[in-house]
Amino acid sequence: MKIVLIGSSGIIGQAVNRELSQRHEVITASRTSGDIQIDITDKKSIRDGLASIGSFDALVSTTGSVHFGDFNEMNENEYLIGINNKLMGQVNLVLIGREFIAPTGSFTLTTGILNRDPIRFGSSAAMVNGAVDSFVKAAALEMPNNVRINSVSPTVITEALDNYAPYFRGYKPVAAADAALAYSKSVEGLQTGQVYEVN
């Protein structure tokens, strides 16, 4: 398969690349590095990047930013960071990607544990994760040409604890390589409309 991997420079993206590139052609993409550059907050960037590839069999997104902050101090602009980036950025990968994906191809998006097991400072992440998971379940009902769509929802990643440990006290982390198996299941399996929880 020809697989487009958005967010390939991140911790999860690197693990997914290692997993899938053993068996498939993986085209890496991020804002500043990779085989192509795609900024998911910019629809023109998405379209130009995907058009440069042409037809592909799967698109995997392991990217998306949200703002972590005290709910009592959060404002609309801080919530819009996650809405414009992790939510609509990934939705637009699907909306634009429909034009380029091959029949029976697949989209795999990334969410996270916080919409089902929230933490302090995580209200924006919880909101966005829940929205993306719901989008996946609903979009799966109407995907054309037997195209599939799933999301992967991991807990905190072991390799990211240097940055996120203070937020996730008491959570059992998972290795990025273990999370990557869920992406493999989405891309190489037959299920659609699924949220693969990695705990």
Map out the domains of the chain with their CATH numbers: 2-198 (3.40.50.720)
Q: What's the average model confidence in pLDDT over 89-115?
A: 98
Model pLDDT for residues 156-195, shown as the tens digit of each residue? 999 999 999 999 999 999 999 999 999 999 999 999 999 9
Which pLDDT does position 52 carry in this prediction? 97
C-alpha of 2 from chain center: 18
Tokens found for residue 103: 């029949």
**Which residues contact residue 21 at a Cβ distance below 8 angstroms, ignoring those fewer than 6 apart?**
none
The mean pLDDT value for 64-76 works out to 97
DSSP type of residue 107: E
**Residue-level pLDDT at 102:** 98
The span from the first CA to the last CA of the chain, in angstroms, equals 28
Whole-angstrom Cα distance, residue 199 to residue 154?
Answer: 6
- C-beta atoms surrounding 46 within 10 Å: 21
**How many whole angstroms separate alpha carbon 72 and alpha carbon 122?**
12
Instruction: Note whether 171 and 160 are within 8 A (CB).
Output: no
Phi, psi of 59 (to 5 degrees): -125, 125
Question: Which residues, including other chains, have CB under 8 Å from residue 72's CB and lie 6 or more apart?
Answer: none
Average pLDDT over residues 21-30: 98
pTM (2 decimals)? Answer: 0.97
Q: For residue 148, what pLDDT is reported?
A: 98
Stated as kind and residue range, the H or E segment containing 58 is strand 56-61
Reported as a pLDDT band with limits 50, 70 and 90, residue 64 is very high
- Residue 189 tokens, joined: 């399996």
Phi, psi (rounded to 5 degrees) for 195: -115, 110
Task: State how far the Cα of 18 lies from the Cα of 26, in Å rounded to an integer.
Answer: 9
Query: Are 124 and 66 spatial neighbours (Cβ–Cβ below 8 Å)?
Result: yes
Q: Is 79 helix (H, G, I), strand (E, B) or coil?
A: helix
